[in-house]
Every structure is written in C-alpha cells, then in structure tokens.
Structure 1
Amino acid sequence: MSYALLFPGQGSQAVGMLGAHAAPVIDATLREASEVLGWDLAGLVRNGPVEELNRTDRTQPALLAASVALWRLWQSQNLPAPAALAGHSLGEYSALVAAGSLGFSDALRLVELRGQLMQAAVPAGTGGMTAIVGLDDEAVARLCAECPDGVLEPANFNAPGQVVVAGEIGALDWLDANGKASGARMVKRLAMSVPSHCSLMRGAAQMLAAALEKIDIVPPSIRVLHNLDAAPRADAAGIRAALAAQLHQPVRWTQTVQALQATGIARLFECGPGKVLVGLNKRIAEGLTSVALEDPAGLSQAAATLNA
C-alpha cells in the first residue's frame, strides 16, 4: 500500500490550473499565498495573463502554491500518509513544505527570490535549455563535452533517452546543428529563458544559500528524496546545502524514481498541475502505478488504489 507523492516543476503551469477542483482549500491556499507575497497570485493563476504567469519569478511561487493547495486537498481525504516525497526541480520545495520541513510562507518567498536570482544570473536572450531525445545519459554528456565554445551541460536526467541540457545560446545553436548527427532522434529548444541546473547558475546558488541560512528548516516528517542525488536528508544543514546545490547541478529524476521503486514503492501520484511526471515515470520503470491528481477523476482514481 505504500506510495509516494511527486511534485512538478516549472513547465507544468497553466492559466486556470487546478480549476477542475471545486475545493475551498485550494482557493484558500492561493489567497494565503497572495497575502504572503503582496501580489495577486490567486488572480494570476485563475486569469493570467499567460505571459506574466510564465515569468520565472511568478511561475515558481504560483506552482508551489498550487501544489501545496493540492497536497492540502489530498490530506483532507483521510488517506494513509505517503512513504516518501520528491519534487522535480522547483517541486522539491513543495515536497519539503508537505513534509513539514519548510514553512509555506518561507517557501513562497524563497522560490520567488530563486526565480529572481535565476533570471538575473544570465541576461535574457543569452541562455536557455534544449531537450534531447534518443541518446542515453552518457552520450548526452559526451555530446556536451564536444561543444567547441560556450557552456553546454546536462541539466535534467528526466527519463532513459530523454535528457534536457542547459547552456549559452551559441552552444545551444551548435547543438541544434549537430545533435541529430550524433544519433539523437529529436533536439528541441525549450521555451525557457533561464539555463537552469548548470554552472551558469553557480552565482545565483551562492546567493540562494545565503538566503537559506536565514530560514527555519526542521527535519522532515516524511522522507524527501533530493534532486541532487536521490537521497533523503534529515538535518537542516544538509537540506540547505542540497537546495543550493540543486540550482547549478543536474536534476536526477530517473535515479529518484528508481530509488523510490527500490524501496518497494509501486504507486506514484503527481501532486500538482499537469501530468509531466506521470509521463516520465512510465518511461523510467515498469510495474509502477502513476496517476496525476490535477483533476477530481485523478484524485479519486489514486485514492481508490489505496483503498482497494
């Protein structure tokens, strides 16, 4: 019966997200986030505009608030507690809030700052991210190393044969021209102005680390696997270090899902907008039940698997 809740990262946001859930706890959580941040997060989530929602300093707190709102709705169902939690990139903060390690208000302010630091670290139009499909992790790393000029590094090990790389625009242009010649089936530039999870974020990570030192963090009540190495941490210092390092190190999602499965967890529920993680999970491991909670049907389906 053991299961894990997984929290999505940037890219899962959409105007009207979680609108299918007519649940007071979701509206209340979004209003709470608006009050904490001092701007109308609830209105942005419901009504857009999409251009503002997609600004990384808006996206990050909006996604965190939506994911925590869905977590609170899940809690209200009086179901067994999850055996573990994990989050993809930004979703790691949502997981830590759900585990009681990080306060909701503190997390909102942190991820807003995280978005601001990320955008400031690399001027708009000079960095980005590209998805590579059809090459294994080692082949992607070799391809990045072959780039003759500029930063180009693996950023998200999302699933076998699906890796996202980050870097400078010139290096991404080189990848566009040379990726398929190296055996990739697809090389697709993503709509991301920030090259997350690569060495270009090292300065931002240092400033984030300083901010994290001022935040109260307590041991999580539920095991949280971190992006850095798919391992849990029980102490505040370890959690702070993992969150800071995460900003300039790759997200090891494949390893995270495999680690959950290795502990006997066979049910994975995506707690947030969208179904990105459900799709990745199905590519990572066979024998897993993976369900998105973004609408009432998904939530009911997930609950039914626990009550069967």
Structure 2
Amino acid sequence: MTQDSLALVFPGQGSQKVGMMTDAYASFESVRDTFEEAAEVVHYDMWALVKDGPQEALNLTETTQPVLLTCSVALWRAWQEQGGVMPGIMAGHSLGEFSALVCASALSFTDAVALVRRRGQFMQTAVPVGMGAMAVVLGLDDSVINEICATLTGEEGSVSPVNYNSPGQVVIAGHSAAVEAACVALKKAGATRTLPLPVSAPFHTSLMKPAGEQLAQAIADITIAIPSIPVVHNVNAQIQNDPEKIRSVLVEQIYSPVQWTDCMRFMINRGTTRLVECGPGKVLSGLARRIDKSLTVASIERPDALTAAISEIT
C-alpha cells in the first residue's frame, strides 16, 4: 500500500547528538540489527559511539555521515516493521539523499555506509582546516544573498550560497575571510542574523571539486538500481530514474548548492500534504513548516511518535 500524499525526508549533518535513537534502539529489533550491520562495515561499535560519545568523535565528518545514514535506515526499517505505508516520494538533505536512495532500494545499505564514510573523508581533506567556513543567514531574500556573495568573491577568496533551506534561511560557505566579509555585508543589507556554523570545511562549494573527483572514483563500481520510490535530488530538485544519472548527480551534489526549498516545493506540487522526517531530530520538520504551513509534519525518532504517525497515516 502506498500513500501518494506522503513524503519521507532524511536529514543530513547537524542532526547528530550523543544519546540520539536511545528509545528506538531499545524498542525495535530492526534498529538494533541495522546498527550491528553498520558496525560490520565500519569495524567499530557504532551504537556505543552514538550512545556514549564523545560528541567530538560523533562530529567528525567521516563518522557523522555513516552514523546518520544508519539512524535513518534503521527508522525506515522500524517504520516498515510496524506497518507504516510506503510513501509516494522521498528526498534527503545532502547526506540524507544517500539515505533516501537506500530506503528506495537504489543503493544497498552496506555499500552506502562504506561510501558515505569515504565521502566524509574526501570532504574533510579537500580543503585544509581553517581555510574554509560556513554560516547561516536569516531573514534575507535569496536574490540579495546571491548578489552580495557574487560581489564579494575576489581577493579574499570565494563565497557562495550552498544550502537554500527555506525562505529566509540560507547557508553560505567558502574561504574563511570571504565568509566573514559576506556576513558583515549581509547584516548591513538587512539580515536579521548571521551565525557561523561549527564545521571545518566549506561543503557544497566549488572548493569541494577535488572531493567530487574522489567520490566519482569511489562510486564508479557501486551498483545503483532504479529507485522503487521516486527520490528528489538536491542539485536540481528533480526525480531521476537512470542509475548512471543518479551516480552523476551524487557526485555533482558534493560541490553544488542544496536546493532544499525547491525540492520541497516539487514534492508539494506533486501532491504531498504529509511529511515524515525519518532520522534524528526535527531540523527538516521545522524547515517544512517555514516552506508551507499547510503541511502535516511528523518526526519519528521516538517510538511513540513513530507509532502515532503510522496510526494517523492510513
């Protein structure tokens, strides 16, 4: 049974915290099994890290990515185990796009765990620590941010919008000095707030192209199937069914902006009225409400929330 009005979305980096998924791990065998399966790929006790930390280790990009993918896939399996209906469409934010493709049977879980671990390594080493930065900009039109970033790209390096998260929330990234200068200029232009993000690399910028080249090699031999559920891709807010084109957009995504607002609007225009966030936290649920207040939104990290969402969506 499918529910064409239902979309599942999968979070990316920033949703991780020590102790997440504790109740789900205790409640669902499928969640425990998924963490055991991931541990065999990464060769460490992933659940012990999630449960006990330390947070600094959990925040390492090469660790965060396989951990969050595992959390999302585990909740998807619990959703199915408990009788949840199949969604009509899926999307994931940055790393979350890999989670969506696993849940849509386009990538195997074990292949994806190994792949996103390497993706994290590639992204972390593409730019020397301290050279890049990211910041969130609140309360300013996308067009103003685009223009100011384009104007400031020059002697102090490059800066560009990288996550169009919702109207009034855009993340910028690039060389550290250029990001700092952009934050000053954007505040003068009317931004209500600019906030540096605690990351050590400028994700989704042209500076990530070396990581993209490495990812292209790593993904070349991985089997990709036609998704069983349509997945909306970050780079162009479109559905892609050709496995080779999926391979290509996954590489392009690493150095291209995340068009999350457009992804959400694409799903809404296709008939989505209910949204379930399949992963830790409520970041995407909050963004969804900013994009369209009429959406019915649920986050299912907690078992009671998961079972409530399943009972409400029939």
Tell me the TM-score normalised to structure 1 length: 0.97
Secondary structure at the residue paired with 1:251? coil
Secondary structure at the residue paired with 2:99? helix
- How far residue 179 of structure 1 moved from its aligned partner, in angstroms, is 2.0
Which segments of structure 1 move beyond 6 Å, counting only runs of 4 or more? none
Does structure 1 conserve the Cα–Cα contact (< 8 Å) formed by 2:166 and 2:260?
yes
- Does residue 43 in structure 1 map to residue 48 in structure 2? yes
Secondary structure at the residue paired with 2:49? helix
Deviations 1:150-196 (A, max 9, x none): 11011000000100011111112212332210111101000111111
Does structure 2 conserve the Cα–Cα contact (< 8 Å) formed by 1:157 and 1:252?
yes
Amino acid at match of 1:281: A
Structure 2: state its 5+ residue gaps.
none
- Does residue 291 in structure 1 map to residue 294 in structure 2? no
User: Which residue, 48, 53, 73 being the options, matches 1:68?
Assistant: 73
Q: Which residue of structure 2 lines up, in the alignment, with residue 117 of structure 1?
A: 122
Q: Which moved more, 1:84-93 or 1:207-216?
A: 207-216
Deviations 1:67-114 (A, max 9, x none): 100010001122321101100000000000000000001100110000
Cα distance in 2 for partners of 1:167, 1:137 equals: 17
Cα distance in 1 for partners of 2:179, 2:173 equals: 8
Q: Which residue of structure 2 lines up, in the alignment, with residue 132 of structure 1?
A: 137
How well do the aligned residues superpose, as a CA RMSD in angstroms?
Answer: 1.0
Q: Which moved more, 1:204-213 or 1:295-304?
A: 295-304
Q: Which residue of structure 2 lines up, in the alignment, with residue 218 of structure 1?
A: 225
Q: Which moved more, 1:73-82 or 1:153-162?
A: 73-82
- How far residue 15 of structure 1 moved from its aligned partner, in angstroms, is 0.9
- Does residue 5 in structure 1 map to residue 8 in structure 2? yes
Deviations 1:193-216 (A, max 9, x none): 111111000111111011111101
- Does residue 238 in structure 1 map to residue 245 in structure 2? yes
Does structure 2 conserve the Cα–Cα contact (< 8 Å) formed by 1:26 and 1:73?
yes
Matches within 5 A, 1:142-181: 142-147=147-152, 148=154, 149-181=156-188
Amino acid at match of 2:287: L
User: Which residue, 14, 18, 43 being the options, matches 2:17?
Assistant: 14
Does structure 1 conserve the Cα–Cα contact (< 8 Å) formed by 2:145 and 2:186?
no
Matches within 5 A, 1:158-307: 158-307=165-314
Does structure 2 conserve the Cα–Cα contact (< 8 Å) formed by 1:33 and 1:42?
no
Structure 1: state its 5+ residue gaps.
none
Q: Which moved more, 1:67-76 or 1:177-186?
A: 177-186
Identical positions, percent: 46
Cα distance in 2 for partners of 1:74, 1:28 equals: 14
Matches within 5 A, 1:44-123: 44-123=49-128
Deviations 1:7-26 (A, max 9, x none): 00000011111112222211
- How far residue 230 of structure 1 moved from its aligned partner, in angstroms, is 1.1
Cα distance in 1 for partners of 2:304, 2:149 equals: 42
Secondary structure at the residue paired with 2:17? coil
Secondary structure at the residue paired with 2:194? strand
User: What is the aligned length?
Assistant: 307
Secondary structure at the residue paired with 1:250? coil
Secondary structure at the residue paired with 2:76? helix
- Does residue 30 in structure 1 map to residue 31 in structure 2? no
Tell me the TM-score normalised to structure 2 length: 0.96
Cα distance in 2 for partners of 1:296, 1:103 equals: 25
